[in-house]
Amino acid sequence: MNDAGPEHPLADPAAPLVAWFQVAVDTVADDRPLPVQPFLRCAGDVAARIGDLDLPAVQVLLAVQALDVPSLPTARWFEGGDRHSRTPIRVTLDSGQNPSLPAAATHLREEMNRLDQRVFACESHSDTDHDPKAMRPPFDSGFWNGPPRHRVTFSGTLAEWSLDALGWLGGFLADLSAQDGITTPVLLTVTRS
């Protein structure tokens, strides 16, 4: 982790920001997913010092370009979860100025539902129906290939609204994106429906 804080000096004042964290990832070992899950656990521990947070959304810039050989993680620990914990969500992925993501949307959705995982059940996707929270990242476009421009939103159900499940989903979607040939950072925004 390079830097963190409750307010970012370059953030859009209209963005509802609770906390921000800057983490650098150069490369990821061939047998490991992008470490989104451990990062969000750490961020959750730090943010808990602020107080009890009821996050309606989480936004993470996924370093998809750091994945040489994606390695999809397992999701077995979510299988026995309480079915009442399942949460309707919207997942927006944005490849900024790179137009590769919307073209891959149909294949990404097929792969999400084909693979043996019970964390996220994708029901639909759209190139136009996006949550307003997904439009404005709270950081300058110079940090990635922004500003947001080429996005797709997937609607479905997450096993539970937790940083563990959200972190697993981030790593999973980074792997799927890399497998589909996307080689640019991807902005992930997950909101509860």
Judged against a pLDDT cut of 70, whether residue 187 lies above it is answered with: yes
Cα separation of 163 and 116, whole Å?
A: 21
**Please, what is the average pLDDT of the chain?**
83
Contacts of 26 (CB under 8 A, 6+ apart): 66
Which candidate, 58, 40, 44, places its Cα nearest to that of 192? 58
Residues 140-168 pLDDT 10s: 787 788 888 999 999 999 999 999 999 99
Contacts of 102 (CB under 8 A, 6+ apart): 95, 127, 150, 151, 152
Cα separation of 116 and 105, whole Å?
A: 19
Prediction pTM value = 0.87
Provide the greatest CA pair distance for the chain.
Answer: 42
Residues 71-110 pLDDT 10s: 665 555 566 667 788 999 999 999 999 999 999 999 999 9
